[in-house]
Amino acid sequence: MASKPIGFLSLLFSSLVLVIVVSPALADDVMVTVRAVTPIQQTDGNLVCATMDWWPKDKCNYGWCPWYNSSIINLDLNNTILYNAIDAFKNLRIRLGGSLQDQVIYGVGEHRKHCENFKSDPNGMFTFTSGCLTMRRWDELNTFFRETGAIITFGLNALKGRKKALDSTEYVGPWDSTNAHHFMRHTIAKGYKIDSWEFGNELCGGGVAAKVNATQYAQDLIKLKKIINRLYRRFSDQDKPKLLAPGGFFDMQWFIEMLQASGPNVVDVVTHHIYNLGPGNDNNLMSRILDPFYLSQVANTYKNVEYVVKNYGPWSTPWIGESGGAFNSGGKDVSNSFVDSFWYLDQLGMVSVYGHSVFCRQALIGGNYALLDPITYVPNPDYYSALLWSKLMGRRVLQTTNDGSPYFRSYTHCSKNGQGVTSLFINYSNSTSSDVSLVGDYNIYPPALYEEIGPREEYHLTPEGGNLKSRVMLLNGQPLKLTSDNQIPELTPLAVEDGTPLHIAPYSIAFIRYKNFNAPACA
């Protein structure tokens, strides 16, 4: 028997006791309630996504130059750790794109012979010249992606052919599709599989370094969709790449105009970017990551994007196309440390609740916010957070609430590739632990809740030495480090039998798989 009923009077009484009684051990009893009958959302099978960027090694912010040789053009694809890190996901979604995307030329056709890399230019957009992707490098990338099982989104240059308006960052005129068309045709001829093509990077609304009018952008989307349909006409609907847009910061009116002007079934996925922690050099970065009230503010953006898609583009679905938490390459010694998982995993949970299917983390490698160290390729703590999510959390999202303090977060999904459900618990308190009980709400009358007391698998995440800025994550007290032959370590849970209390320590994170939890939503 995996569950037992709990009467509402006893629940009410225990809640009153929690309010009145202060435990000398600084531990809260927290009841987590999971609505088990129907899912509230469904994510993509590969919610976890990581980006690869175009930045050269001389990309610097605040006197730091943390990109090294980690760009699409110069990343060492023969590195064993890189291969194993991607392969461990068994189908990691990777988005190729970023700030320099709209300055990239593809080395096909007339550009085949003169294909030069980015160079530093103080007068250039983002202080760089345009750069070129050679087809030899494109071959190498696709061989690597095929071998590791990666699912690829490629961001196209959407500024080609446009002219910069005088005294403005706006680019006007129609998109010149010639180079992109030749590149896509070459890609198909080589048999390279692209899951989706994205149009431009951060050109929507006020833009970042450049912007395009929503109506003009929509007309170009229609053109690109026709190119995709024509080039992939012999492909099944399932194998035909999706069209993603606009890949920038959310501006409600601009997004609405884009969807209305492009019309039904042009944009398959609405992508937007999130950098809700501020600049990478902000002295308050760490305190923001640990403040659940601050982290909750971005929920309004997720809700608004979900609203716009449902009401103006119901044929599409929203994705986070890029998010690194802190912009300008992330926070030194913060974005690559254990503490960042308090932001990252909370975002994965939150976007799932608000109808987003994919979350692309900036970056797989490069910058301070990299999942892999850009010099050694050794995984940072967020890599293991991403891998655990990918292995444990299924597509179906269950409504989850708790009666704990605002410093305790809870999210639940149907378990991936197995029975029951998996919950993510995040304890932002620096001093109070949480003793958690999980109950199922089956929407029956008269109302009743059923406590889950069956066996479970626990994955407790803490920093080495108790240092939140540690680059080493502990899983159930053991450091997660590469094996002697540079393999990703096994993520072994702690197996717990019936009835043992669940304890979530201060400043810790836990994935808990309830193996026998009866959730009709997961059937």
The single residue of 170, 198, 202, 457 carrying the catalytic annotation is: 202
* CB 72, CB 144: distance < 8 Å: no
Instruction: Return the residue matching tokens 């890399």.
Output: 117
Q: Which residues pair with 509 in a beta bridge?
A: 426, 461
116 flagged as catalytic: no
Task: Classify residue 110 by burial, with Cβ atoms within 10 Å: 0-12, 13-18, 19+.
Answer: exposed
Cα–Cα distance, 245 to 158 (Å, whole number): 11
In this structure, what token pair is assigned to residue 177? 């599709």
* CB 117, CB 54: distance < 8 Å: no
Neighbouring CB atoms inside 10 A of 292's CB total: 17
Nearest to 54 by CA among 152, 155, 158: 155
Give, in degrees to the nearest 5, the angle at Cα 207 between 49 and 299. Answer: 50
Nearest to 264 by CA among 224, 228, 222, 301: 222
Give, in degrees to the nearest 5, the angle at Cα 46 between 40 and 48. Answer: 95
Give just the sign of the alpha carbon dihedral 126, 130, 136, 139: positive
Nearest to 249 by CA among 309, 297, 201: 201
497 flagged as catalytic: no
Q: At what angle do helices 341-353 and 381-392 cross, to 10 degrees?
A: 30
Give, rounded to a whole angstrom, the gap between the first and last alpha carbons of the chain: 19
In this structure, what token pair is assigned to residue 488? 């990703």
Alpha helices in 21-134 (DSSP H): 80-87
Give just the sign of the alpha carbon dihedral 367, 368, 372, 376: positive
Sequence-distant (≥ 6) Cβ neighbours of residue 162 within 8 angstroms: 171, 172, 173, 174, 175, 176, 212
Sequence-distant (≥ 6) Cβ neighbours of residue 407 within 8 angstroms: 292, 427, 428, 429, 432
The single residue of 306, 322, 457, 458 carrying the catalytic annotation is: 322
* CB 30, CB 407: distance < 8 Å: no
Residue 483: helix, strand or coil by DSSP?
A: coil
Nearest to 523 by CA among 415, 393, 411: 415
Active centre residues (catalytic): 202, 322
